[in-house]
């Protein structure tokens, strides 16, 4: 049975990276809103100081340390676009390299296409569904094979679509 307790976020461009990633589905963004116990556990697992597990989204003033040096957001800001897909040079080599490097970036081209077709607000609502647990509605990252709240597998539609690639990536990372 599907839960009606899904947390709803209003469309907010701060919560979407210029590259097309959906910030609420980022493990660091999620950790920023977790209980202290869950944040401490993730801090130990990722070997990242607890105070660094803070992010309010790509277009915000408080970003994860990795995102602070992102050349894609800097380029988008310089060109006056919210999303790389609105740039005349889309997709540039920097974005192609970025997209190819990690499984959670597999759907960037589709994200930009959808933002252009349907508009940011509709795409945002679709991403809330795409990354929501089909059972309890909790938002999960691309790496939550099982839901972080209720343990149902898959944790969201993204994982269902890309489970093999994600599982291989996670297995290689732990070696």
Would you state the pLDDT for residue 175? 62
Is 125 a member of any domain?
A: no
Is 6 a member of any domain?
A: no
Is 152 a member of any domain?
A: yes
User: What's the whole-number mean pLDDT along residues 7-25?
Assistant: 88
Q: How confident is the model at residue 11 (pLDDT cuts 50, 70, 90)?
A: confident
CB-neighbour burial class of residue 57 (10 A; exposed 0-12, middle 13-18, buried 19+): buried
Answer yes or no: do 18 and 95 share one domain.
yes
Taking alpha carbons only, the member of 155, 134, 133 closest to residue 145 is 155
> Residue 148 pLDDT more than 60?
yes
Which of 80, 111, 142 finishes a domain? 111
Is 116 a member of any domain?
A: no
**Model-wide pTM > 0.85:** yes
Answer yes or no: do 30 and 85 share one domain.
yes
> Residue 75 pLDDT more than 70?
yes
Answer yes or no: do 101 and 23 share one domain.
yes
Would you state the pLDDT for residue 2? 40
What gap in Å lies between CA 134 and CA 92, rounded to an integer? Answer: 35
Is 76 a member of any domain?
A: yes
Answer yes or no: do 173 and 90 share one domain.
no
Answer yes or no: do 35 and 100 share one domain.
yes
Count of the separate structural domains present in the chain: 2
Answer yes or no: do 25 and 57 share one domain.
yes
Is 135 a member of any domain?
A: yes
Q: How many C-beta atoms lie closer than 10 Å to residue 172's C-beta?
A: 8
Q: How far is CA 162 from CA 31, 66, 101, in A?
A: 22, 24, 15
Q: How confident is the model at residue 52 (pLDDT cuts 50, 70, 90)?
A: confident
Is 83 a member of any domain?
A: yes
> Residue 7 pLDDT more than 80?
no
Taking alpha carbons only, the member of 113, 152, 160, 116 closest to residue 136 is 152
Answer yes or no: do 44 and 98 share one domain.
yes
Domain extent, residue 148, equals 131-175
């Amino acid at each position: 049975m599907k839960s009606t307790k899904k947390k709803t976020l209003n469309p907010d461009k701060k919560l979407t990276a210029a590259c097309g990633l959906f910030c609420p589905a980022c493990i660091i963004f999620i950790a920023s809103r977790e209980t202290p116990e869950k944040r401490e556990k993730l801090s130990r697992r990722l070997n990242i100081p607890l105070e660094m597990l803070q992010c309010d989204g790509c277009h915000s003033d408080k970003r994860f340390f990795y995102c602070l040096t992102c050349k894609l957001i800097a380029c988008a800001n310089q060109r006056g676009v919210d999303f790389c897909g609105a740039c005349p040079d889309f997709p540039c080599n920097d974005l192609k390299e970025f997209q190819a490097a990690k499984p959670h970036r597999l759907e960037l081209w589709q994200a930009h296409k959808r933002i252009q077709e349907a508009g940011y607000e509709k795409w945002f609502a679709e991403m809330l569904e795409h990354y929501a647990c089909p059972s309890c509605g909790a938002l999960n990252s691309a790496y939550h094979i099982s839901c972080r709240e209720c343990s149902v597998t898959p944790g969201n539609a993204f994982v269902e679509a890309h489970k093999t690639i994600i599982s291989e990536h996670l297995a290689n990372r732990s070696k």
